[in-house]
Each structure stands twice: as structure tokens, then as C-alpha cells.
Amino acid sequence: MEELLKLLKTLPKEYLQVIIFELMKDQKISYEDITKSYVEYLDMLRKGQSEAYMELQSKVVTMWSGTKKDRDKNLKDIMHYLLDKGRINTTHEDIDKHK
């Protein structure tokens, strides 16, 4: 998921609009879904929630909605993120070797 997001962020706005249009056309996402997400984002900003909090929330939702076989990998990604942000006291090696 992270790799896909990185790739999407490099695309021009026009390409992203075409992608969204195609997803809407195939009924994979609706205008209501998009506006609801945007309103939630604005509400988070209004409440003073940081970008880091929103990124962590996104990672947790990815883990929750991902496949069972990817759960350990996604959890390790979250742990690495928390370590990089200075929120937990461990090492990358300890996270990687944890089963």
C-alpha cells in the first residue's frame, strides 16, 4: 500500500483525476466517500491532530483492512514508524527479529 501511495503522489493531478473518475465509474468509490474522507481530514486538522497522527491512523487502517498474511509485516511497519518518530524505546533490529 505504501509503495502504491508513493507512486500515486508522483503522478500529475490530471492523472489522479482520471484514476478517481475510473474508480467512480466502476463503482469502487463514490463522490460521497471522497467528500466524507475530506471532511474527516479537515475535522482532524481543526482539532489540531498532527500529520503524524493521521499517518499512523492510515497505517492502522491499512493493517486492519489488509490480509491476515500481511498483518505481521504491517504491524512491524507501524512499529518502525513509531520508533522513527521517537514514540517507542526499542531498535529497528529488535522489531525486525520479533516474530
Could you tell me the mean pLDDT of each successive run of 10 residues in the chain, 99 residues long?
86 95 96 92 77 80 84 88 85 85
> What pLDDT is recorded for position 13?
94
> What pLDDT is recorded for position 40?
86
Separation between Cα atoms, residue 8 and residue 71, nearest integer Å: 23
> What pLDDT is recorded for position 17?
95
Contact 78, 70 (CB under 8 A): no
Contact 42, 29 (CB under 8 A): no
> What pLDDT is recorded for position 15?
95
State how far the alpha carbon of 10 is from the alpha carbons of 13, 19, 57, 88, 89, in Å.
Answer: 9, 13, 22, 31, 33
> What pLDDT is recorded for position 34?
94
Separation between Cα atoms, residue 16 and residue 11, nearest integer Å: 7
